[in-house]
Amino acid sequence: MVTPLCMGTMTFGWKPDDWGSTKEVGYEVGRKALDLGINFFDTANVYDRGGCEEVTGKVLQGKRDKVFLATKFHGKMDDNDPNASGNSRRHLIEQCEGSLKRLQTDYIDLYQLHRPQPSIPIDETLRALDDLIRAGKVRYIGTSTFAGWQLAEAHYIARELGTNRFVSEQPPYNLLDRRIERELLPFCRTYNYAVIPWSPTAGGILSGKYLGGMNEGRYSTGDPQNRVNEASQAVVRGLKALADEMRVPLITFCLAWVINQPGVTSAIIGVRKLEQFDDLMKAMDVQFSEEVLKKIDEVIAPGTHVVEYYEANFGPNALPM
104-138 pLDDT tens trace: 999 999 999 999 999 999 999 999 999 999 999 99
Domain that holds residue 26: 5-299
Among residues of the chain, what percentage have pLDDT more than 70? Answer: 95
pLDDT tens, residue by residue, 211-261: 977 666 677 667 888 899 999 999 999 999 999 999 999 999 999 999 999
Q: Is residue 257 part of a domain?
A: yes
pLDDT, one tens digit per residue, over 9-34 is 998 876 554 444 578 889 999 999 99
In this prediction, residues 92-96 reach a mean pLDDT of 97
Which of these, 65, 63, 58, lies nearest to 102 by C-alpha position? 58
pLDDT in tens, 157-174: 999 999 999 999 999 999
Exposed / middle / buried, residue 245 (Cβ in 10 Å: 0-12, 13-18, 19+): exposed
Q: Is 156 a catalytic residue?
A: no
- pLDDT computed for residue 13 by the predictor: 75
**Average pLDDT rounded to a whole number, residues 53-61:** 96
Q: What is the tally of structural domains in the chain? A: 1
Is 185 within a domain? yes
Asked whether residue 179 is domain-assigned, the answer is: yes
> Does residue 319 form part of some domain?
no
CA distance linking residue 162 with residue 237, whole number of Å: 50
Q: Look at residue 105 and tell me if it is in a domain.
A: yes
With contact defined as beta carbons under 8 Å apart, do 112 and 139 qualify? no
pLDDT value of position 25: 87
- pLDDT for residue 217: 67
> 159-164: which pairs have CB atoms within 8 A and are 24 or more residues apart?
161/123, 161/126, 161/127, 161/130, 163/126, 163/127, 163/129, 163/130, 164/126, 164/129, 164/130, 164/133, 164/140
Let me know if residue 102 belongs to a domain.
yes
Asked if residue 317 belongs to a domain, the reply is no
List pLDDT tens digits, range 279-321.
Answer: 999 999 999 999 999 999 999 999 999 999 999 999 988 777 6
Catalytic residue of the set 47, 111, 193, 310: 47
Mean pLDDT of the chain, nearest integer = 94
User: What local confidence, expressed as pLDDT, does residue 224 receive?
Assistant: 82
Q: Give pLDDT, residue 214.
A: 60
Q: Is the pLDDT of residue 73 over 70?
A: yes
CATH of the domain at 219: 3.20.20.100
pTM tops 0.85: yes
Q: What is the pLDDT of residue 20?
A: 47
At residue 223, the pLDDT reads 84
Q: Is residue 159 a part of any domain in this protein?
A: yes
